[in-house]
A = this chain, B = another copy of it.
């Protein structure tokens, strides 16, 4: 009964999907010793050494305070350091951080392979892009 109502609610279905996929991602990234979000942040720093937290917040679609917290932790793990420049703090990877790059990339691909195997390659990729577009739509209209 109610079951049917729930699967017609975007809050319900998107939360559920996110929980499932997060679990998957955590599994796949476990070998890097990082939760997926931390790994992604690191990827963003590989991509642009000296990136600011503001930029990171924009790329990762996370609130600045969240980014601060993530960096705190990556820093305490010795994977990242920051240089304060004026009011900004710029983020760089340490040697130890750089050493993780290959592993993280591998995890990334494993995750992708995993859901593609279940959903189909086309379907998986198409869904992913669609969710991105939907998010854009929902964010710009408010």
What residues of chain A have their CB less than 8 Å away from a CB belonging to chain B?
A: 1-3, 5-22, 24-25, 36-37, 40, 43-44, 47-48, 59-61, 108, 111-112, 115, 117-119, 124-125, 127-132, 134-135, 137-139, 141
Among candidates B8, B12, B22, B134, residue contacting A125 with C-beta atoms closer than 8 Å = B8
**When chains A and B are docked, how far (Å) is the Cα of A129 from the Cα of B18?**
15
Contacts A119-B138, A127-B134, A128-B7; is A15 near B22 (CB within 8 Å)?
A: yes
Q: How many copies does the complex hold?
A: 2
What is the distance, in angstroms, from A35's C-beta to the closest C-beta of chain B? 10
Among candidates B7, B40, B108, B119, residue contacting A129 with C-beta atoms closer than 8 Å = B7
Is B118 within 8 A of A13, CB to CB? no
Among candidates B13, B108, B135, residue contacting A9 with C-beta atoms closer than 8 Å = B108
- Interface centre among A48, A59, A128, A134, by most chain B C-beta atoms within 10 angstroms, is A134
